[in-house]
């Protein structure tokens, strides 16, 4: 389609630009192949995951975000094997309870997934987790443009009730299968809920009030504290990718569990726990790479906000397009009416190159996403 080709041209601009520096405040703790080899297949026992969180907390981590959902109870927990013998079961460790106690002592924002299954009935909708923040809709005449899921896949109760807070980590690809934008908010059962990245940023800032600001067309910005995040009308941020996979600092979960890491790499940082292991199927397509770890998409979003390096498509983008088209039309009319026919092709090539440079400059200097193909 038209917009698909336009997106591909913009992807080409990302490749031409190459990698750019990050804020150095975002770290990924990777459940990689080495970690799985040493500590067993996923999902791990919850006592192992508790040790991972305790070690991060002891290193002075700023805030931890889980690109993981614990939707079922730990089947390896010893107390589950002794359910027919209550006295024995009470003496054996309950790994879910152990991890729940860990969560009360660690700065963790849990993850969950929203579902868009159209066959879900209202009475079958599950309750979403409570968020220790107030979301105020300001100027929005109609919030029907915001994504509205029909159900939720959340963590087991022993864990969910002990997180400091939670956020959804849905990444929704566009029609070509690429992750180019990520929703920061969704409306579920009439209430606004934040994404994992938005809630990590809010929690770290200590601000409780978040303003979702818009107009008749939909959302324009999401604001809290010193942050003003531009979004499209649906509430999605266009991801300004910093580079190829592993642009951000990765630390193997194996090293965290074995205390084989430098605490300075963790202290005060935003830490995302996710996986790059091929067998766990959390790989995505993005402009730089067709097999990109999903957790690193969230790392890019946090970095974009921390550095203020946004890409934005204004609601009145059509006006920009019309003005540019008229300028181009006028230019070519004036030039082609006075030059010799032999100069038409060279002039056209120079004009197209100049246009490309103009759009490149607008995209990466001013963060304006214009319709290049149009």
55-105 pLDDT, tens digit each: 999 999 999 999 999 999 988 877 766 565 566 556 678 899 999 999 999
Which one has a higher pLDDT value, 104 or 216?
104
Q: What's the pLDDT tens digit per position in 116-125?
A: 998 888 878 8
Q: Is the pTM of this model over 0.75?
A: yes
According to DSSP H, which parts of 157-252 are helical?
A: 157-160, 196-205
- Whole-number average pLDDT of the chain: 91
Contact assessment for residue 197 and residue 182, using Cβ atoms and an 8 Å cutoff: yes
Query: What's the whole-number mean pLDDT along residues 324-328?
Result: 90
Distance CA(286)–CA(280), nearest Å, equals: 18
pLDDT (0 to 100) of residue 86: 63
Contact assessment for residue 203 and residue 107, using Cβ atoms and an 8 Å cutoff: yes
89: exposed, middle or buried (C-beta count within 10 Å: 0-12, 13-18, 19+)? middle
Residue 189, SS3? coil
Provide CB contacts within 8 A for 8, sequence distance 6+: 176
270 pLDDT exceeds 90?
yes
Contact assessment for residue 11 and residue 18, using Cβ atoms and an 8 Å cutoff: no
Pairing mode of beta strands 249-252, 26-30 = parallel
Query: What's the whole-number mean pLDDT along residues 281-304?
Result: 90
322 pLDDT exceeds 60?
yes
Question: Within 13 Å, how many C-alpha atoms sit on residue 141's CB side?
Answer: 3
Provide CB contacts within 8 A for 116, sequence distance 6+: 149, 150
Distance CA(207)–CA(224), nearest Å, equals: 7
Distance CA(123)–CA(244), nearest Å, equals: 44
The Cβ of residue 354 has, within 10 Å, a number of other Cβ atoms equal to: 11
Distance CA(116)–CA(209), nearest Å, equals: 27
The 8-class DSSP code of residue 82 comes to T
- Which range, 20-24, 37-41, 278-282, is most confident? 37-41
124: exposed, middle or buried (C-beta count within 10 Å: 0-12, 13-18, 19+)? exposed
Q: Which of 25, 26, 33 is nearest to 275 (CA)?
A: 33
pLDDT (0 to 100) of residue 159: 96
Q: What's the pLDDT tens digit per position in 149-161?
A: 999 999 999 999 9
Q: What's the pLDDT tens digit per position in 40-50?
A: 999 999 999 99
Contact assessment for residue 88 and residue 172, using Cβ atoms and an 8 Å cutoff: no
pLDDT (0 to 100) of residue 291: 82
Please state the φ and ψ torsions of residue 199, each to the nearest 5 degrees. -70, -35
* % of the chain at pLDDT higher than 70: 96
146: exposed, middle or buried (C-beta count within 10 Å: 0-12, 13-18, 19+)? buried
């Amino acid at each position: 389609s038209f917009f698909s080709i336009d997106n591909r041209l913009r992807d080409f601009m990302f490749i031409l630009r190459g990698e750019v520096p990050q804020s150095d405040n975002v770290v990924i703790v990777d459940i990689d192949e080495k970690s799985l080899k040493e500590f067993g297949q996923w999902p791990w026992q919850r006592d192992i995951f508790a040790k991972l969180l305790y070690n991060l907390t002891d290193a002075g981590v700023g805030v931890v975000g889980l690109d993981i959902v614990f939707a079922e109870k730990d089947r390896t927990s010893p107390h589950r094997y002794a359910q027919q013998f209550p006295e024995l079961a009470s003496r054996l460790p309950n790994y879910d309870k152990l991890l729940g106690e860990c969560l009360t002592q660690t700065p963790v924002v849990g993850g969950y997934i929203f579902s868009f299954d159209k066959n879900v009935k209202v009475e079958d909708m599950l309750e979403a987790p409570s968020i220790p923040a107030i979301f105020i809709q300001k100027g929005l005449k109609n919030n029907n443009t915001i994504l509205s899921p029909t159900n939720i896949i959340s963590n087991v109760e022993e864990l969910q009730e002990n997180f400091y807070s939670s956020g959804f980590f849905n990444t929704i690809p566009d029609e070509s299968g690429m992750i180019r934008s990520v929703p920061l908010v969704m409306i579920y059962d009439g209430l606004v809920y934040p994404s994992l990245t938005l809630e990590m940023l809010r929690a770290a800032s200590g601000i409780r009030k978040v303003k979702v600001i818009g107009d008749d067309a939909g959302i324009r910005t999401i604001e809290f504290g010193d942050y003003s995040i531009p979004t499209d009308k649906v509430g999605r941020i266009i991801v300004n990718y910093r580079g190829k996979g592993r642009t951000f600092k990765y630390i193997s979960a194996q090293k965290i569990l074995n205390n084989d890491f430098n605490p300075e790499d963790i202290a005060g940082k935003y830490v995302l726990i996710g996986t790059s292991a091929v067998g766990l199927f959390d790989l995505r397509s993005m402009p730089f790479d067709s097999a990109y770890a999903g957790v690193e998409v969230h790392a890019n979003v946090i970095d974009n906000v921390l550095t203020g390096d946004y890409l934005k498509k204004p609601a009145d983008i059509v006006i920009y397009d019309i003005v540019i088209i008229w300028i181009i039309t006028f230019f070519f009319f004036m030039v082609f009416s006075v030059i010799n026919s032999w100069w038409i092709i060279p002039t056209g090539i120079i004009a197209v190159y100049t246009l490309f440079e103009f759009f490149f400059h607008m995209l990466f200097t001013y963060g304006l996403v214009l319709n290049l193909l149009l």
